[in-house]
């Protein structure tokens, strides 16, 4: 059973009126390996509204990556429903799902995942290529996104001509260029030293806005405690859902 503490998790009246970006009911992902069953996610209920900044934390094997894969429509659940922007993801065709992913979701990964031979601008343009946006418009929007992350002066640099923090900022610009309704980040500071990681955190803070949900998986307690809401997973269930200061973060590395 999910043991969400009612007091910590109760959204304020104002929050309750914001529309839901993510609405998950009874979501389960069960891996069957040999004769064994692993309930990576086990009947999870979760609502995330636009404007929220959520950190998903929990011990190794608790289901964080599984949750992110499902949220990002990169994997499908075995039971339960997932509505993204009101669309019931489980009923969509593969091509409609790909469209939804490209239009509504921005991904930021620990390892940046940039094209090594392409300039920052070309990397940021990529989701717009998939979306069928014309070349001039693509360039304009990519430059504006790079400007937003403070990298206008590095637009012609390739990834190997950028620092780690700058690469991650290019990846963030790429995630933002489609103006997604949800930004998913998987350990976004995992490959960065603490100072550069802090700069990336500052950038995430600036990206908060009423039009977008920011969801990140992290082992980094500094990152987790800067989120406005913390979802703590254990054994595929939500053990805590509420403000970071109510959670026991020392358990994160357990």
Under the binding rule (CB under 6 A), the answer on residue 194 touching ligand ATP is no
- For ligand ATP, the closer CB: 155 or 240: 240
Closest alpha carbon to 235 in 222, 216, 215, 254: 254
Provide, rounded to whole angstroms, the least separation between the CB of residue 57 and Mg ion: 11
Under the binding rule (CB under 6 A), the answer on residue 60 touching ligand ATP is yes
User: Which of Mg ion, ligand ATP, none lies near 31, with the C-beta cut-off 5 to 8 A by kind?
Assistant: ligand ATP
Provide, rounded to whole angstroms, the least separation between the CB of residue 13 and ligand ATP: 33
Burial of 157 (0-12, 13-18, 19+ CB in 10 A): middle
Mark 62-90 as b/e (b = at least 16 C-beta within 10 Å): bbbebbbbbbbbeeebeebebbbbeeebe
Which of 61, 72, 190, 246 binds ligand ATP (CB under 6 A)? It is 61
Of residues 62-81, those binding Mg ion (CB under 5 A): 65
The residue range among 45-53, 60-68, 72-80, 159-167 that interacts with ligand ATP, by the rule CB under 6 A, is 60-68
Taking the CB of residue 213, how many other CB atoms lie within 10 A of it?
Answer: 25
Under the binding rule (CB under 6 A), the answer on residue 196 touching ligand ATP is no
User: Which of Mg ion, ligand ATP, none lies near 11, with the C-beta cut-off 5 to 8 A by kind?
Assistant: none
Provide, rounded to whole angstroms, the least separation between the CB of residue 64 and ligand ATP: 4
Provide, rounded to whole angstroms, the least separation between the CB of residue 108 and ligand ATP: 16
- The DSSP-derived string for 149-183 is TT-GGGTT--GGGS-HHHHHHHHHHHHHTT--SEE
Under the binding rule (CB under 6 A), the answer on residue 40 touching ligand ATP is yes
Of residues 37-66, those binding Mg ion (CB under 5 A): 65
E strands in the chain: 20-33, 36-49, 53-57, 79-84, 87-88, 105-109, 182-186, 213-217, 229-234, 237-242
Provide, rounded to whole angstroms, the least separation between the CB of residue 14 and ligand ATP: 31
User: Which of ligand ATP, Mg ion, none lies near 209, with the C-beta cut-off 5 to 8 A by kind?
Assistant: none
Under the binding rule (CB under 6 A), the answer on residue 66 touching ligand ATP is yes
The residue range among 1-9, 10-18, 31-39, 138-146 that interacts with ligand ATP, by the rule CB under 6 A, is 31-39
Closest alpha carbon to 200 in 212, 208, 192: 192
Place of tokens 């593969």: 94
Distance in angstroms (rounded) separating the CA atoms of residues 154 and 185: 23
Taking the CB of residue 175, how many other CB atoms lie within 10 A of it?
Answer: 24
Under the binding rule (CB under 5 A), the answer on residue 110 touching Mg ion is no
3-state secondary structure of 228: coil
Residues that bind ligand ATP (CB under 6 A): 31, 33, 38, 40, 58, 60-66
């Amino acid at each position: 059973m999910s043991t969400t503490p009612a007091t910590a998790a109760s959204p304020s009246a104002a929050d309750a009126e914001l529309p839901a970006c993510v609405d998950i009911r009874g979501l389960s992902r069960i891996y069957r390996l040999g004769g064994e069953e692993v309930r990576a996610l086990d009947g999870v209920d979760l609502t995330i509204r636009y404007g929220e900044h959520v950190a998903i934390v929990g011990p190794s094997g608790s289901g964080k990556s599984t949750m992110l894969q499902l949220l990002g429509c990169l994997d499908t659940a075995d039971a339960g429903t997932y509505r993204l922007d009101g669309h019931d993801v489980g009923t969509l065709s593969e091509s409609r799902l790909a469209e939804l992913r490209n239009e509504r979701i921005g991904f930021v990964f620990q390892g940046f995942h940039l094209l090594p031979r392409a300039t920052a601008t070309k990397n940021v343009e990529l989701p717009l290529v998939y979306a069928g946006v014309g070349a001039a418009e693509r360039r304009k929007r990519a430059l504006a996104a790079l400007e937003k992350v403070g990298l206008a002066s590095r637009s012609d640099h390739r990834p190997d001509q950028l620092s780690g923090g700058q690469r991650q900022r290019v990846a963030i610009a790429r995630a933002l260029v489609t103006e997604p309704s949800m930004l998913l980040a998987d350990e976004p500071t995992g490959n960065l030293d603490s100072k550069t990681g802090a700069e990336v955190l500052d950038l995430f803070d600036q990206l908060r806005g009423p039009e977008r949900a920011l969801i990140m998986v992290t082992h980094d307690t500094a990152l987790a405690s800067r989120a406005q809401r913390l979802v703590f997973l254990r054994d595929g269930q939500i053990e805590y859902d509420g403000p970071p200061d109510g959670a026991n973060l020392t358990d994160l590395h357990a």
